[in-house]
Structure formats: C-alpha cells, structure tokens
Amino acid sequence: MHYHSLHYKFPPLFFTSQLGDLNLGKIGLKIAVLCSTHTLLHIYTLTPFTLIPVLIDEYKLSIVQVGLLVSIPRFAQLLMNIPSGLLADMLKPRILIALSLVTSMIGGLIIFHGTTVLDLLIGFTLISISSALYHPPALSAMTRILPDQLESRGMGIHGASGSLGTSLGPITIGLLSKSFGWKYTYVIWCIPIMIGAIASLLTPLEARELKKTAGRKLVAPLREVLTIQFILLLVFTTARSAAGSSISAFMTTYLTKGRGMEFSIASLIYGISPLFGIIGPLIGGFMGDRMGLKKSLTSVLSTMIAMLIALSITPPLLIPLVYLAYSVSSHMTMPISTTLVARVSSESSRGTAYSLFFIPVSLAGIVMPIVTSMLIEQFGIWIIIPTSITLYALAAIIVQSIKE
C-alpha cells in the first residue's frame, strides 16, 4: 500500500504524529467523497418515522397500517443485503455508490409526486434499498483506502457523516412543512444527491487493484467470509443490535410511563440523541485506533451498561444527561465494529462481509420491537432496562473470543 507524495493534512486529533511522515492528501478527496455521499444517503433515513403522525392524518391510516408502511421497506433492505455485498465484490465501488444515490433520489421523487399510499410504499422501499446498495461498497472502499493506523478513526468520521444526514432529514421537514409542505423535503435534496452520485462516479475510490475474479463462482465470497471468527462477530452484532433496538424503540415510553416524565420533554431528549451520533463515532474511532478494537468495545459496552443502570435510579433532573451519555456510547460502537469486520475478512470478499454484518442490524430493527413489546405487556415497561443490560453483557463476553 503506497501513500507517498501526499500533501493534505488531517486534524491532529484523529490523524496523529504516530504516523510519522505519512501524508494523506491523495486519499483526502476519496474520503471526502465517501463521507459526503454517506451524509446524502441518510437524508431520508428517519423521515418516514418523523412523518408517522402526518401520514395517519393525511392518508387516514391506522397505527397498524402506518407501521406496515414503514416496516415493509426494511424487509426489502434486508433481502438486498447479500446481493449488494456480492455485487460490491464484483464491481467498482463508485458504480454501486452512484447507483444507490440515484435509487434514493428516484424514491424521493416518487414520494414527492405520489398521491397514494402505494406511491409512498414504493418510494420508502427504494430509499431502503439504496441503503443496502451503498454500505457494502462504501465501507469496503474506506478500509481499502485507509492505512491500518487510521482505519478505526476513518470509520468514525464516515459514521459521523451518516449521523449528520439522519439529522438533516427531520430538520428539513420541520423547516419546510408549514410553509411549503413536508413533501418538499424529498425534492429539495435531489440536486445535492445527484451531485454526490456524479462525484462518486468521477472519483477513483479504489486504492489498489484487487485480485482478478474472472471465473470466480458467485458463492466464493460467502465461503471465504463465513469463518468461525466472522460468525462470532455476527453473534456479537446480533446481541448488541438487539439491545440497542429494545431501548430505542421504547425509550420515550419508558421515560413517560416508567419515570413519570412529560411526553414533550421525553420526545425532546429522544430527538436530540441523533445529533450526538455525530460525536460518538468520532470518539469511538479514535479509541479503536488508540486502545485496540476489542478493548475499546469492551470499555464502551461497559459504559453503556452503567448508563442504563444509572437511568433506572438517577433523579429526574439527571436523566437527560445520562441518556445522552448512553446515546454517545451507543454510536461509539459502530466504527469499532465496522473496522473489526475488515480485520476478520479478506479484501476480495469484504463487500460480502459488510452485507452480512448488516443483516443482524436489520433483523434486530424488525424483530426486537415486537419481542420487547411482548415482554412489556407481560412484565411492565421497566423490563427494557434489564433486557438490554443482559444483551449488552452477552455482547461484551462474545467479543473477547474474536481474534483480529
């Protein structure tokens, strides 16, 4: 891997003197393109959930119908995970990244021009599919571009850029809904998304040539990826994602029903947390490079368990601080985990590795809210805290068995 004659200097907080004379100017543009496209890709991620009250009133939907409207696209994303990973190992990443952004833009335009619930469903589904198309090639490109010393920090910056996008969507709805209508959120971002697609096509995101794959069987990447270490990583990801989904789906309910907080305040606390997703990946990426991946994950998971315990016993005035500390810690795990994927997979099959990595994340988002609701019905809202603590503890135990 060669990084000579480069002139761009990154901020010392994340790219420190431990790298000696290594300059990063030549790869700076590639990182900038990957981070900016990640922001644009996630603009529409949270908009369906933000719009639930509006969709119920405007389209006369029941809570079950609107739940299906935002859940069915997640199933489509889940089904696309493995095919997109296989494609990421066969095609240049810039092609799939551009395709994902164009798919997202088309979904937005369908929602903007649509008049029926079916139009919304098609638009939401295309946006979800765009996410499945984007992540395997983009994350693979990041790990191939970055030197090992900067891998976790680079993933942190990439993750933070995605968190920025998830915040911009709901903010745009809030700014436009009264004056222009919520649908304009889906058209105002089309031009930036198209610019991002063109930029990704024009940027050589490949750091080096990989081994030729002519005649390679389509299932070969799956066989290469599914090692004992990678399976352990998937089990870890399942436990971590299940714990996080259990908390995020019912946090406002817990704060109001379990801790007696006013709904407006609970909603505000919950709504601010995505903004802290910008900070968490940066800190997590820095820790991953400085402390090592397993040690960092163990420390962060321990902190999350401590924050959940504190959340159940702390005085009401301190609840916002405790929950935001938990939220920051939760976002810290992603860059460390995605870097660990690169450490336990080969370069030639890394797209497949990332597609498989996101399957437990998607499944947890679909299944855990249902499972947790059944537990709440049986035991009460307080059960989400011990449930999540148990799952996080299990994840911390499993990660000790993973060899980088």
Is residue 328 within 8 Å of residue 278, measured between CB atoms? no
Q: Which range has the top average pLDDT, 61-70, 90-99, 140-149, 349-358? A: 90-99
**Tokens 């979904």 belong to residue:** 107
Which residues touch 380 (CB under 8 Å, ≥6 apart)? 258
The answer to whether position 399 is within a domain reads yes
Determine what percent of the chain is predicted with pLDDT higher than 90: 39
CA dihedral sign, ordered 311, 317, 323, 329: negative
**Residue 15, in any domain of the structure:** no
| Higher pLDDT pick, 112 / 28 | 112
Residue with more model confidence, 52 or 79:
79
Pair 91, 222 in one domain? no
pLDDT at 128 over 60: yes
96, 98, 97, 126: which is closest to 110 by C-alpha? 126
CB of 362 closer than 8 Å to CB of 74: yes
Mean pLDDT, range 40-50, rounded to an integer: 88
| Same domain as 250, residue 391 | yes
Q: Above 70 in pLDDT, residue 38?
A: yes
Same domain (yes/no): 182, 40 = yes
Beta-carbon contacts of 282 under 8 Å, excluding residues fewer than 6 positions away, are 14, 153, 156, 157, 160
Residue 12 inside a domain? The answer is no
Looking at the fold, whether 118 and 232 belong to one and the same domain comes out as no
d(CA 296, CA 280): 13
Q: Which amino acid is at 262?
A: E
Nearest CA to 331 among 275, 391, 277, 254? 277
Predicted confidence band of residue 126 (pLDDT cuts 50, 70, 90): very high
pLDDT category, 22, cuts 50, 70, 90? Answer: very low
Q: Which of 181, 209, 237 is the last residue in one of the domains? A: 209
Q: Are residues 191 and 309 in the same domain?
A: no
pLDDT: which is higher, 377 or 400: 400
**396 and 291 belong to one structural domain:** yes
Q: What is the arithmetic mean of pLDDT over 258-262?
A: 85
Contacts of 33 (CB under 8 A, 6+ apart): 196, 199, 200, 203, 205
Split at pLDDT 50, 70, 90, the class of 24 is low
Same domain, 233 and 327: yes
Global pTM exceeds 0.85 = no
What does the pLDDT look like over 373-398, one tens digit per residue?
888 888 988 999 999 999 999 999 99
Q: Residue 114 falls within a domain, yes or no?
A: yes
- The confidence score (pLDDT) of residue 220 equals 62
More confident residue, 7 or 56: 56
Instruction: Flag whether 137 is in a domain.
Output: yes
Beta-carbon contacts of residue 192 (< 8 Å; ≥ 6 apart): 40
User: Which of 160, 181, 209 is at the close of a domain?
Assistant: 209
Asked whether residue 159 is assigned to any structural domain, the reply reads yes
**How many other C-beta atoms are found inside a 10 Å radius of the C-beta of residue 47?**
22
Choose between 117 and 79: higher pLDDT: 117
31, 124: one domain: yes
Q: What are the Cα distances from residue 192, in Å, to 67, 211, 309? A: 30, 34, 43
Mean pLDDT for the stretch of residues 187-209: 87
Does 17 score more than 80 pLDDT?
A: no
What is the full DSSP assignment across 312-380?
A: HHS-GGGHHHHHHHHHHHHHHHHHHHHHHHHHTS-GGGHHHHHHHHHHHHHHHHHHHHHHHHHHHHHH-
Q: What is the pLDDT of residue 7?
A: 38
Q: Which amino acid is at 323?
A: Y
Residue 322 has pLDDT above 60, yes or no: yes
Q: Is residue 148's pLDDT more than 60?
A: yes
CATH number, domain containing residue 109:
1.20.1250.20
Domain end residue (candidates: 186, 209, 232): 209
Q: Tell me: do 104 and 194 sit in the same domain.
A: yes
190 confidence band (pLDDT: 50, 70, 90): very high
The number of domains in the chain is 2
Do 325 and 234 lie in a common domain? yes
Mean pLDDT of 296-324: 93
User: 20-29, 177-186, 347-356: which range is least confident on average?
Assistant: 20-29
Ramachandran class of 292: left when φ > 0, alpha when ψ lies in -120 to 50, beta otherwise: left
| Residue 191 placed within a domain | yes
Residue 45, both tokens? 């991620």
The whole domain housing 271 covers 216-404
pLDDT band at 217, cuts 50/70/90?
low
Across 120-136, average pLDDT = 94
Look at residues 134, 176, 147, 171 and name the one whose alpha carbon lies nearest to residue 36.
134
Q: Are residues 161 and 56 in the same domain?
A: yes
pLDDT at 74: 83
CA angle (383, 387, 391) in 5-degree steps: 170
Please check whether residue 262 lies inside any domain of the structure: yes
Report residue 20's pLDDT band, with 50, 70 and 90 as the boundaries: very low
232 and 376 in a single domain? The answer is yes
pLDDT of residue 283: 92
